[in-house]
């Protein structure tokens, strides 16, 4: 399982922070019942001892991800179904998380985008 910054990076095969893909062989994916800081969190435990926490937007999306990852672990391609927010992938082997950042930027007004841009590129507010 590989991780990408965005859809463009995924389509170009450029991994996030040059991380190598994680092997799902004998991995376990389950709801993180012991994690209380945030809702809809699940964990992926891999055989080298590492544990990854993921947060979904709701229980339905979380269960979809758990099912898809568990199916990939077991090698059952019939159970791996991309969600409506996922990027189509060859043989349904990979999925991307919903791009909520892109939708919120597109929905905002031009004035708001300018203010957001100003916040990102300046430590001090602009004097008007």
Domain ranges of the chain: 21-74
pLDDT of residue 89: 39
Whether the Cβ atoms of residue 105 and residue 113 lie closer than 8 Å to each other? yes
Which alpha helices (H) appear in 7-99, and where do they start and end?
7-12, 59-74
Residue 29 has pLDDT above 90, yes or no: yes
Compute the average pLDDT of residues 54-63: 95
Backbone phi, psi, residue 3, to 5°: -125, 135
Reported as a single tens digit per residue, the pLDDT across 61-112 is 999 999 999 999 988 655 444 444 444 333 344 455 554 433 344 444 455 5
Kindly report the pTM of this predicted structure. Answer: 0.57
Reported as a single tens digit per residue, the pLDDT across 32-46 is 999 999 999 999 999
* Mean pLDDT of the residues in the chain: 74
Three-state SS at 84: coil
Instruction: List the one residue out of 78, 81, 44, 33 whose CA is nearest residue 61.
Output: 81
Residue 19 has pLDDT above 80, yes or no: yes
Q: What is the CATH number of domain 21-74?
A: 2.30.29.30
């Amino acid at each position: 399982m590989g991780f990408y910054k965005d859809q463009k990076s995924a389509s170009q095969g450029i991994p996030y922070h040059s991380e190598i893909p994680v092997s799902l062989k004998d991995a376990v994916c389950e709801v993180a019942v012991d994690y209380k800081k945030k809702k809809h969190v699940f964990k992926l435990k891999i055989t080298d001892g590492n544990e990854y926490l993921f947060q979904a937007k709701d229980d339905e999306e979380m269960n979809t991800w758990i099912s898809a990852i568990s199916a990939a672990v077991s090698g059952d391609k019939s159970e791996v179904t991309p969600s409506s927010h996922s990027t189509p992938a060859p043989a349904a082997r990979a999925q991307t998380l919903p791009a909520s950042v892109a939708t919120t930027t597109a929905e905002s007004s031009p004035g708001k985008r300018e203010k957001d841009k100003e916040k990102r590129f300046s430590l001090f507010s602009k004097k008007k």
